[in-house]
Amino acid sequence: MVLYLISVGLSVTMGLMGFVNLAHGAFAMIGGYLMTSLMSRYNVPFVLALTAAVVVVILISLILERLLYRRLYGGDELDQVLMTMGLIFISIASVTYIWGPITQPMQPPPALSGQIDLGFRTFPTYRTFLIVCGAVLVTLLWLTLERTRFGAQVRAAVDNLRMAQTIGINTSRLFATTFALGSGLAALGGALGAEILPITTFYAMDNLIYFLIVVAIGGLGSIRGPFFAALLIGVSDTAFKYVAPELGAFFIYALTMAILLWFPRGIFGRT
């Protein structure tokens, strides 16, 4: 579910805007760092810390979008890959400088720790909370992109940029908003998932391949896609590791390759 939370944001930037944003994990990482340090050092309540982390990351992403990302819209994929990779390195260094190389501990608030009894068996409350969050988010996002004016504008601008501009859509503001949305989602995912995907300095680099796999399999620009892909990856990863532990993550990669050959644009990709 954490994978989904982070990847759906990436699907928004990468799929809707067509920008290969490898630095997406960096936004998630910064979100995670902000929240954990706010909570453990300054004793800020959970919800407030979460909101603050997401808001700060959105601000950072807006600045970066204006300064750097904007120049490469519609450009070469290679340039996008390289620039965002540069951003990953910068983020690694900055995070090490500010927070040091130690993994940040994450304690869920008392109300969310412990176990929850659902009648037939008990679950860790925090994980249940994560799953509920994910479900709420997928619904909200889907409604936003499919049912509102904003969503329609985004889809129009992606399908035909010039036409969208011609009919008076402010595409540069639209893209900035979309990008901020994507990064905000990343921060949310990074912060919420800090318990499961530990926040370390190399977070953005180590988890990059998982995020990318989820987005690529799920299909670009789709909201449902990453949801199912994250489920698929999560379930099959556990299953394969159970059946053939000596092969580890090998199957996941093989599966990804096979799926991408079958559906080059992802299972739920738009053509």
Partner 1 sequence: MMQEHSTERLVRAAHIAEFSARHRLRWLEALPWVAAIAAYFVFPNYLALGAQILATILFVLSLDLVLGYAGIVTLGHAAFFGVGAYTAGMLAANGWGEPVSGLLVGGVAAAAVGLVSGAIVLRTSGLTLLMQTLVVAAMLYELANKAHRFTGGADGLQGMEMWPIFGTFRFDMFGNTAYFYCLVVLFLCWAAARNVVHSSFGRSLTGIRENVGRMHAIGAPVARRKLLIYTFSAALAGIAGGLIAQTTQFVGLGVLNLERSGMALIMLIIGGVGQLYGAFIGVPLYMIAQDRFAEVDPAYWYFWIGLSLVFIVVFLRGGVFGVVERLFGRGKSP
Interface positions with partner 1 (CB under 8 A): 14, 20, 68, 71-72, 77-79, 81-83, 85-94, 96-97, 101, 201, 205, 208-209, 212-213, 216, 220, 246-250, 253-254, 256-257, 260-261, 264-265
Buried b (16+ CB within 10 A) or exposed e, 172-207: eebbbbbbbbbbbbbbbbbbbbbbebebbbebbbeb
SS3 of residue 199 by DSSP:
strand
**Angle, vertex CA 9, rays to CA 221 and CA 152, nearest 5:** 45
SS3 of residue 104 by DSSP:
strand
The backbone torsions φ and ψ at residue 124, rounded to the nearest 5 degrees and listed phi first, read: -65, 130
- 249 touches 237 (CB < 8 A): yes
| Nearest distance in Å: CB 167, partner 1 | 28
| Nearest distance in Å: CB 166, partner 1 | 27
Would you say 74 or 168 has its CB closer to partner 1?
74
| Nearest distance in Å: CB 233, partner 1 | 12
Would you say 15 or 189 has its CB closer to partner 1?
15
| Nearest distance in Å: CB 70, partner 1 | 10
| Nearest distance in Å: CB 113, partner 1 | 33
The backbone torsions φ and ψ at residue 244, rounded to the nearest 5 degrees and listed phi first, read: -135, 75
Would you say 104 or 153 has its CB closer to partner 1?
104
| CA distances in angstroms from 23 to 61, 88, 126, 191, 258, listed in the order given | 10, 5, 27, 16, 26
| Nearest distance in Å: CB 67, partner 1 | 9
Would you say 194 or 220 has its CB closer to partner 1?
220
Would you say 53 or 205 has its CB closer to partner 1?
205
Would you say 131 or 257 has its CB closer to partner 1?
257
Which residues on neighbouring strands pair with residue 116, listed in sequence order?
123
Task: Count, in order, helices (H) and strands (E) of the chain.
Answer: 13, 2
